[in-house]
Amino acid sequence: MSRVALVTGAARGIGAAVVHGLAAEGWRVLALDLCADLPGVPYSLGRKEELGALVKRWPGQVLDVAADVRDQESLAEAVALAEREFGGLDAAVAAAAIMAGGEPLWETTDAEWDALFDTGVRGVFNLARAAVPALLRRPEPRSGRFVALASAAAHKGLWHLAGYNAAKHAVVGLIKGLATDLRGTGVTATAVSPGSTRTAMLDATATLYDLADVEEFSRHQLAERLLEPEEVAAAVCWLCGEQSSAITGTVVHADGGFTA
């Protein structure tokens, strides 16, 4: 019987790559994204058409849901849909996040701060509250997985991105606490911290820094190139699998050596 995952932030970038990666391995996936723009976020977010393209690529394996990770009830409904349509839930991937900043911390606006924490931290918290009980409803021996996308910014200060730093540090702390709460259940909790990855979010970061070319970010990575979303997704997909049972309460650094 194929395993079942719920992935947030699934319309594009690393989230979409995770959906493709899991589906290619035979998983059934509920792909969730807001499919709308947000106040305090200076660039366009994923679209319904992008989310729908996942369903077209993987008919019968992927279902799409337009929902807001800031809304607990919406995520509870999404988990219920996964259980109803696919028979249960084996993994939850919190990939929804946004980028905002471009100024020193003391000039950060309430709208930017709220956007960073409401989506990037509360969204992970809401997914855990909705998904973990479903992971625990699987019969023993369980192999449920909760994976959150953190960032290299969770481990190193970035200029004019202190709010983003703070949000991603919070994600790592949340994962460590969740893993401890899950002790002995067979369900694990891990984070993946990408480096500079070729996504719309990185394009937005380049705009904040007034960079002419997003490739300038590659200077900070030992790989000496930008990462592709599929490379980061490969780490996430492995962590979702049963073979990753020894990994919990920690971070996998899929960052091209950014934090070496």
Q: Which residues are catalytic?
A: 164
State mean pLDDT over 27-49.
Answer: 94
Is the pTM value of this prediction over 0.85?
yes
Return mean pLDDT, the chain: 96
For 57-81, what is each residue's pLDDT tens digit? 999 999 999 999 999 999 999 999 9
Look at residue 40 in the predicted model and tell me its pLDDT.
79
Quick: pLDDT tens for 201-234.
Answer: 999 999 999 998 999 999 999 999 999 999 999 9
CATH 3.40.190.10 is right for the domain spanning 4-254? no
Q: What is the largest CA-CA distance in the chain?
A: 53
Q: Are 215 and 203 in contact (CB under 8 A)?
A: no
* pLDDT the model gives residue 42: 85
Question: What pLDDT score does 1 carry?
Answer: 74
pLDDT tens track for 161-193: 999 999 999 999 999 999 999 999 999 999 999
Q: Sign of the C-alpha dihedral, residues 241, 243, 248, 252?
A: negative
Q: What is the pLDDT of residues 103-159, one digit of tens each?
A: 999 999 999 999 999 999 999 999 999 999 999 999 999 999 999 999 999 999 999
